[in-house]
Structure 1
Amino acid sequence: MPQTRFWPLLALGLLALSLPLLVGYLWLLVSAFSPQVHGLKPVGGLTLEHWRFLLEPIGQRPPIGRVLLNTLVYASGVAFLVVLASSMAAYALSRLTFRGRGFYLGLVLVLHAFPAVSLLIAIFYVLRLLGLFDTLTGVILVQASLLLPLGVWVMKGFFDAIPWDLERAALVDGASRWIFFLRIALPLVRPGLFALGTFALIAAWGEFILPYTLIVSNRAWTLALYLQSLLGAVDLADYGLVAAVGLFYFLPVLGLFLLGQRFLLAIYGGGIKG
């Protein structure tokens, strides 16, 4: 095919665009295990000194075990809420007819267009009013609510692909809407559930603005806040330590992405085949 001759140029262009990122990851890896780095060249052999944060707290910061647990609770809580609420709302919008359905669909799309940073002041006052400011629960609810519009639209595409004949047959056989949703619809859209869950987990794991704004005390710190505290230290930042913490922060989400990338591709397909 004539188009195949352009693939080498396309691959070269993508490599050129990815080169700064690859250099950054290489610097992260080299700096985490080297006493000093000149450019990308390690100086002084290998060392594990920068990984001391795994064994002892750094300064007044909380232990890394507590911070890691907070991050896991935060990311998994967001993923669970997004998948649960999105799947139920998307099923209702896809299979049921009710007053205001079209308006609600448009409203969900409009809500997705609002950047989170524009809502921070309102979110701050709401969490203070509810007593959820400076808590992981508050940040989980905020992050999940901001991801819900996208989740609803993604899952609606999967539910739309379920044949109506299948649902009619289940209802004729005596199944309720709830039984059909739990026992038939959800297993059919499992690729979408995994895709949305993976996306929400990765998004929450890498979130910085919301925890930084809505969490004050270090008892609820996530890894993003822990890393920022090292970069924003009053004294000179230890970039070897920063690189080690950054690598520690990066590796779990990299593994999750490699395991869930085929599910993430299903977001763009919007079908029930997996």
Structure 2
Amino acid sequence: MLGSLSETQRPARWAWLLLVPVTLPVLLLYAWLLLASWSDGMEGFRPLGWTLENWSFLWQPDPFGPGIGQLTLNTFLFAVLVALGEVLLASTAAYALSRLPVPGRRLWLAMLIVLHAFPGITLLVALFLLLRQLGLYDTLAGVVLAKIALELPFHVWVLKGFYDQVSWDHEMAALLDGASRLVAWWRMVLPIIRPGLMASAVFAFLSGWSEFLLPYVLAPGAGVQTLPVYLGSLLSQADVARYGTVTAVAVFYMIPVMLVYLFLQRYLMVLYTGGVKR
């Protein structure tokens, strides 16, 4: 009994020996960032003094740009709209590819992989011209649509895997009782794949919250600026940058992500385990 227990615990110990050297430098960097956000300066990991001035952006509006409240609202709206749009469209498209006799389904699935493999930066010029033609350039709606279009193939592919695991018995029982395909999908299938929908929504939200390139190129106006773009602008002014403020903004920017991981991490693990609620 003891021998078998030690045999099962040995791989876990080896995993810890491998993970600690990899994650420790990252944790130290975040610890340094947190200390620097409250200090006058850093000498290695030793703060030279403590101050609240780095966090003054919370109560002092920026005379040359949008305030932190507007930036946070823009970023939050962008991330939420991206998550809602991607989950809504992906849940319907994935259902069709999984359950309906779609002509050329294998071709569609292959195209999903190919589209997801292309870097989004290769389409920036095309997206810029398209949004300008539609009158959506430098708007939050335009950059949201661009983000959804670029990431939709990934979420369709993921949710199709969840639909494939749902037994036909649940859906057929509803159809035999007289329910329409839409009602059967809504009331029988969606509750079963709810963990997958939540995982997809969380990933989409985090991806939208951290997106820098698309808002930077497609929505450069101050009225629709997001936190990643604002943080990038602070770093770009190397000659006049206040690095204490930069570190404080970076810590403020990380707080929502940490909260999401803290409370919703069980949904993120669903994508790796492939589980559905039965």
Residue equivalent to 2:223: 219
**Is residue 124 from structure 1 mapped to residue 128 from structure 2 by the alignment?**
yes
Helix, strand or coil at the partner of 1:237: coil
TM-score by length of 1: 0.95
Match of 1:23 among 17, 22, 28: 28
Say whether the 8 Å CA contact 1:62–1:218 is kept in structure 2: yes
Q: Which whole-Å deviations, capped at 9, do the CAs of 1:51-85 have from their partners, x for residues lacking one? A: 11011223412111000000010000000000000
Q: Distance between the aligned counterparts of 2:143 and 2:220, measured in 1?
A: 12
Q: Which whole-Å deviations, capped at 9, do the CAs of 1:122-167 have from their partners, x for residues lacking one? A: 1111111111111111111111111111111111111111111221
Q: Distance between the aligned counterparts of 1:271 and 1:20, measured in 2?
A: 32
Letter paired with 1:29: L
Using the aligned pairs only, state the percent identity: 47
Q: Which whole-Å deviations, capped at 9, do the CAs of 1:189-230 have from their partners, x for residues lacking one? A: 110111000000001101111111112211111000111111
Structure 1: 5+ residue stretches without partners: none
User: Offset at 1:234?
Assistant: 5.7
- Count of paired positions: 273
User: Offset at 1:33?
Assistant: 0.8
Match of 2:48 among 24, 43, 46: 43
Task: Mark the CA change 1:185 to 1:64 in structure 2 (over 3 Å): closer, same or farther.
Answer: same
Helix, strand or coil at the partner of 2:269: helix
**Is residue 189 from structure 1 mapped to residue 193 from structure 2 by the alignment?**
yes
Residue equivalent to 1:14: 19
Q: Distance between the aligned counterparts of 1:76 and 1:51, measured in 2?
A: 26
Say whether the 8 Å CA contact 2:170–2:189 is kept in structure 1: no
Letter paired with 2:39: S
Q: Distance between the aligned counterparts of 1:236 and 1:3, measured in 2?
A: 56
Say whether the 8 Å CA contact 1:79–1:197 is kept in structure 2: yes
User: Offset at 1:12?
Assistant: 2.3
Which of 99-108 and 192-201 deviates more?
A: 99-108
User: CA RMSD for the aligned pairs?
Assistant: 1.4
TM-score by length of 2: 0.94
Say whether the 8 Å CA contact 1:90–1:159 is kept in structure 2: yes
Q: Distance between the aligned counterparts of 1:98 and 1:42, measured in 2?
A: 62
